Structure 1
Amino acid sequence: MHAQIILFDGFDPLDVVAPYEVLTAGGTASGGAVTVELVSAEGPREVVSGTGGLALRATGALAPDRPGLIVIPGASGRVGDPADAPGDGAGTPGPTGADESIPVLLGRTLNTRLPALLKEAMDHPEVVVAGVCGGSLVLAMAGLLAGRRATTHHMGLDTLDATGVHAVRARVVDDGDLVTGAGVTSGLDLALYLLEREVGPRIAHAVEELFAHERRGTVWRAEGPEPAPF
Structure 2
Amino acid sequence: MKAQVVLFDGFDALDAIGPYETLVAGGVEAELVTAEGPREVPAGLDMLSLRATGKLDPQAGGVIVVPGAAAFTEDEVIPLLAAGASTVGPVLKETNAVIATVCGGSVLLAIAGLIKGRNATTTFVGLHVLESMGVNAHRVRIVDDGDLVTAAGISSGVDLGLYLLEREVGVQQALTVEELFGHERRGTVWRAA
Residue of structure 2 in register with 1:133 after alignment: 103
Q: Which has the higher contact order (CA 8 A, sep 6+)?
A: 2
Q: Which runs of 4+ in 1 moved over 6 A?
A: none
Describe how 1:122-201 pairs up with structure 2 within 5 A. 124=96, 127-201=97-171
Q: Whole-Å Cα distance in 2 between the matches of residues 208 and 199 of structure 1?
A: 14
The Cα RMSD (Å) is 1.0
Q: Whole-Å Cα distance in 2 between the matches of residues 80 and 60 of structure 1?
A: 30
Cα deviation code 1:85-142 (max 9, x no counterpart) = xxxxxxxxxxxxxxxx111211112332x11101112xx2xx1000100000000111
Given the alignment of the two structures, is residue 110 of structure 1 paired with residue 53 of structure 2, yes or no?
Answer: no
Q: Whole-Å Cα distance in 1 between the matches of residues 61 and 52 of structure 2?
A: 19
Q: Whole-Å Cα distance in 1 between the matches of residues 74 and 181 of structure 2?
A: 33
Q: Is the 8 A contact 2:85 2:109 kept in 1?
A: no
Cα deviation code 1:18-43 (max 9, x no counterpart) = 1111000000xxxxxx2000000010
Residue of structure 1 in register with 2:21 after alignment: 21
- Residue 11 of structure 1 aligns to a residue whose secondary structure is coil
Given the alignment of the two structures, is residue 51 of structure 1 paired with residue 51 of structure 2, yes or no?
Answer: no
Q: Whole-Å Cα distance in 1 between the matches of residues 107 and 183 of structure 2?
A: 26
Aligned-pair identity in percent equals: 60
Q: Is the 8 A contact 1:13 1:51 kept in 2?
A: no
- Residue 57 of structure 1 aligns to a residue whose secondary structure is strand
Unaligned residue ranges in structure 1 (runs of 5+): 28-33, 82-100, 224-230
Q: Whole-Å Cα distance in 1 between the matches of residues 7 and 179 of structure 2?
A: 28
Say if 1:130 and 1:80 are closer, same or farther in 2 by CA, change over 3 A. closer
Residue of structure 1 in register with 2:35 after alignment: 41
TM-score (norm 1): 0.82
Q: Whole-Å Cα distance in 2 between the matches of residues 105 and 78 of structure 1?
A: 12
* Length, aligned pairs only: 193
Larger Rg: 1
Residue of structure 2 in register with 1:67 after alignment: 61
Unaligned residue ranges in structure 2 (runs of 5+): none
Residue of structure 1 in register with 2:180 after alignment: 210
Q: Structure 1 or 2: larger helix share? A: 2
Q: Whole-Å Cα distance in 1 between the matches of residues 183 and 47 of structure 2?
A: 28
TM-score (norm 2): 0.97
Residue of structure 2 in register with 1:98 after alignment: none
Q: Is the 8 A contact 2:8 2:41 kept in 1?
A: yes
Residue of structure 1 in register with 2:10 after alignment: 10
- Residue 51 of structure 1 aligns to a residue whose secondary structure is helix
Q: Is the 8 A contact 1:146 1:164 kept in 2?
A: yes
Q: Whole-Å Cα distance in 1 between the matches of residues 181 and 99 of structure 2?
A: 24
